[in-house]
Amino acid sequence: MSAENGTNGIPDTSAGSTPPAGPRPEPLRFFGTTWVDHGNGYAARRAGLAVGSLAVAAAACFVLRVAYEGLRIAAVGGFVSLLMIVMFAVCSALAFRHTWSGFTSRPDPDRQASLRGLLTIGFVGTLLAYFFRTFTEAPGETLHRAEYDRAREEYEKRTTRRSRNPSKKRRRS
């Protein structure tokens, strides 16, 4: 295995080594390129991400609870309190669904930009999506593995096609 420079799992070329031929895997957030061979602390990173995302989601729920208590102390009324609860619940559910589907397909950049506010409000849903996804894989691993395998296959096809000497090609009559 080649040495990594610690930034996104890109092979270190400073020691005179040449980068591997062909496509390189795209690094995942929190995992770099360890998802390719499940080495270099991959399982520990998955466990850490699961614990971390659940802890941050719990802390976020505590902050939302404090905000709700603030509204109750301010006596803004039951309708506003209910509206806040429904807003965070709906936004969290939509953020969960959007994040979950983003693990298996590339999201549309225009749609992503238009949903930025909603996803910010529903950040608890995003954190919970990360928590549940880490039980099966690194979040986004299936999508990146499919793209990487497809790129490797295409690269192999291109290089094997060019491996023969074209001057010795037999002409069809």
Is 0.95 surpassed by the pTM of this model? Answer: no
- The candidate with the shortest Cα–Cα distance to 125, out of 51, 61, 82, is 61
Query: Tokens 């986004």 label which residue?
Result: 140
The per-residue pLDDT for range 119-132, each reduced to its tens digit, is: 899 999 999 999 99
The most confident of the ranges 30-34, 38-42, 148-152 is 148-152
Supply the pLDDT for residue 104. 87
Whether pLDDT at 7 is above 50: no
The per-residue pLDDT for range 46-87, each reduced to its tens digit, is: 899 999 999 999 999 999 999 989 988 998 888 988 999 999
- Dihedral angle computed from the Cα positions of residues 122, 117, 70 and 58, in that order, rounded to the nearest 10 degrees: 30
